[in-house]
Amino acid sequence: MRVRFWGTRGSIAKAGPSTVRYGGNTSCVELRSPDGTLVVLDCGTGAHGLGSALLTGGNAPRRGHILITHTHWDHIQGFPFFAPLRVRNNEWDVYGPHGAGLSLRETLAGQMQYTYFPLALDDLGATVRYHDLVEGRFKLGDIQVTAQYLHHPALTIGYRLECAGVVVVYATDHEPHSRRLAAGDAVPRGREDARHEQFLAGADLVIHDAQYTADEYPSKVGWGHSTMEYVVQAAAAADVQRLALFHHDPLRDDDAMENVVTLARQRVAQTNAPLEVLAAAEGQVLDVERTRRVRSAYTPAAKSAIASPAGNVHEQSVLVAVSDAPTADLLADAAAEEGLRLFSAADVDTAIDVVRRDQPSLLIIERSLAGRDGLDVCRAVRGAEGTYAKEVAIVVIEDDDDPEALLAAGATGSLARPFDAGYVRTRMRSWLLSTAWHLERAPLGDNEAQRVRAVRATGLLDTKPEERFDRYTRIAAALFDVPVVLITLVDADRLWFKSHYGMDTCESPRDAAFCPHAILDDTVMQVPDALLDTRFADNPLVVGEPFLRFYAGAPLKLPDGSRAGTLCLVDYRPRSLNDAQVQLLGDLGALVEREFRGG
């Protein structure tokens, strides 16, 4: 992969003679895969230069993806000035964190209202699609992307991009959860800091916020940025090959930047890690090669990062178990602003009762709770059986930075006082969004019991392959030019394949399958891009092996009218059938139905 820096500065653009070497433009990085997939990381003022450069290549249509970490100005101010967005025939997909109130599109439109900018978002000439993200995975061409929340006053996402064995991580703006870790101390990591290190694990290149130094940090606590000392330590521990310090402070001139790099290299020398450190400079190009044959293990959650536009369907709730009244009030207000149902408890026993009875979506517990250890609540919850006990987010308010105790008790994260309502809301949202799971199971039809009886009565389930069915899947594969064609029967809790072209397995669990959706109706069901369809974006077959993207299924009827299963087409890339092809698939389905009778 090739990386080019167009903007490296944090907070505000800083043009002038003191920043010529490292650059004055704010965050914007261009990344290209070997197959030519173009990814733009953030749209700070550096996007202006990138946009102009892209247009010098003539009028050929351009297609690209813009990944926004968050919508602070220094990451989006170049968006209205990114010229390819104004050119017809250009196609851009824009991704960014799914907020609580406004969508990514609405937030970007906000900075282009007529009081701020002469051209409205809707007047851009290019085709622009907006995608709201939560934590999880998605694919951009040949690049597999993992999105993970960072720690910043606004909801912020870091991106891990993997392609052909090469890993690049873009993580700005981020402050370590532990203040001692941020100050450069070698202290044990809590769960969230360990998780962040995991996100960097084994990367060939990490581009990381390093706005401050440990000396400057005491007056910057809570601003949402890292120190050079922390980043070097984390990258070395995470077995990173190359680290590009990024999001340079606007007050740091070129000579001061050189000093920071020198200090960083001295620190690396003390660790003995094979880590190369540089400070990202505007205009600099890095060719990132595969440097690892064996890479530190990294296993992201197997769920899609594409947020459901409906937001969270289920009502969410929070337990605030806090005995300190001002803190409890502040948290209650934040919960109300986020639209969360509130449960309160002022002591350990009440808190445990509330959890058992109401199972709130998020637990916020004060460490010192009415004379007892708030971690007792944490231990009681984690000690119970079931998915809720294992997965609910538990956050501990503690003032003395004791990550080992929190980790041992099973806490998800911590909150250190003082904090304000805005910060708490951002944290609540990221904890809730990172534990939310929205796999949509197909509803059952009205006569499901009768339908299953009819399917079983065909006598086809678990029989050997037959030429009279296989010929149809072969024909369909050639006709529609798809790698996989199946004739499926939807049994009570599984999908069984009477014929399977291009796929070895002959059954799959019903919960995750597409066909149970297709048999709800008499017409062909088409899913042009599963990642963009809220029913399937989280589907394990989409976000994991075999990474399905396209599906089209014609329902197959039995003589009694029950829809038994489908003749379906599957592809690993997005595509769509035109009307004539939909008709053709229906016609082929009708021929397969005749075999049900003629068996």
* Interface with Zn ion (CB under 5 A): 10, 72, 74, 173
User: How many whole angstroms separate alpha carbon 475 and alpha carbon 424?
Assistant: 58
Shortest Cβ 298–Zn ion spacing (Å): 25
By beta-carbon proximity to Zn ion, the closer residue of 41 and 543 is 41
| Residue 122, φ and ψ in degrees, nearest 5 | -70, -15
- Residue 392 is encoded by which pair of tokens? 């609910």
By beta-carbon proximity to Zn ion, the closer residue of 71 and 562 is 71
Shortest Cβ 280–Zn ion spacing (Å): 14
Shortest Cβ 408–Zn ion spacing (Å): 33
Name every residue whose Cβ is closer than 8 Å to that of residue 326 and which is 6 or more positions away in sequence.
none
By beta-carbon proximity to Zn ion, the closer residue of 72 and 139 is 72
Burial track 419-448 (b if 16+ CB lie within 10 A, e otherwise): beeebbbbbbbbbbbbebebebebeeeeee
In this structure, which amino acid lies at residue 50? L
CA distances, 35 to each of 31, 32, 39, 142 (Å)? 12, 8, 12, 7
By beta-carbon proximity to Zn ion, the closer residue of 45 and 304 is 45
Q: Are 321 and 346 in contact (CB under 8 A)?
A: yes
Q: Are 60 and 31 in contact (CB under 8 A)?
A: no
Query: Would you call 491 exposed, middle or buried from its count of C-beta atoms within 10 A (0-12, 13-18, 19+)?
Result: middle
By beta-carbon proximity to Zn ion, the closer residue of 175 and 253 is 175
Bridge partners of 97, per DSSP, are 133
By beta-carbon proximity to Zn ion, the closer residue of 74 and 192 is 74
Coil, strand or helix at 129 = strand
DSSP character for 202? T
Give me the half-sphere count of Cα atoms (radius 13 Å) on the Cβ side of residue 227.
Answer: 25
CA distances, 462 to each of 455, 489, 554, 565, 576 (Å)? 12, 10, 21, 14, 32
- Residue 578 is encoded by which pair of tokens? 């035109």
By beta-carbon proximity to Zn ion, the closer residue of 74 and 593 is 74
By beta-carbon proximity to Zn ion, the closer residue of 98 and 267 is 98
- Identify how many contiguous H helices and E strands the chain contains and give both numbers: 18, 27
- Residue 246 is encoded by which pair of tokens? 């990024």
Q: Are 585 and 476 in contact (CB under 8 A)?
A: yes
Q: Are 55 and 83 in contact (CB under 8 A)?
A: yes
In this structure, which amino acid lies at residue 49? G
By beta-carbon proximity to Zn ion, the closer residue of 426 and 473 is 426
Q: Are 440 and 534 in contact (CB under 8 A)?
A: yes
Shortest Cβ 150–Zn ion spacing (Å): 9
Shortest Cβ 283–Zn ion spacing (Å): 20
By beta-carbon proximity to Zn ion, the closer residue of 71 and 308 is 71
Shortest Cβ 69–Zn ion spacing (Å): 8
Bridge partners of 279, per DSSP, are 245
Query: Which one, of 513, 509, 485, 512, lies nearest residue 499 by Cα?
Result: 485
Shortest Cβ 483–Zn ion spacing (Å): 43
Shortest Cβ 120–Zn ion spacing (Å): 25
Shortest Cβ 197–Zn ion spacing (Å): 21
DSSP character for 500? E
DSSP character for 222? T
- Residue 115 is encoded by which pair of tokens? 């009081």
Q: Are 196 and 174 in contact (CB under 8 A)?
A: yes
Shortest Cβ 247–Zn ion spacing (Å): 6
Residue with the shortest CB distance to Zn ion: 72
By beta-carbon proximity to Zn ion, the closer residue of 173 and 253 is 173
Separation of CA 555 from chain center: 33
DSSP character for 215? T
Shortest Cβ 76–Zn ion spacing (Å): 10
Shortest Cβ 27–Zn ion spacing (Å): 6
Shortest Cβ 429–Zn ion spacing (Å): 15
DSSP character for 46? T
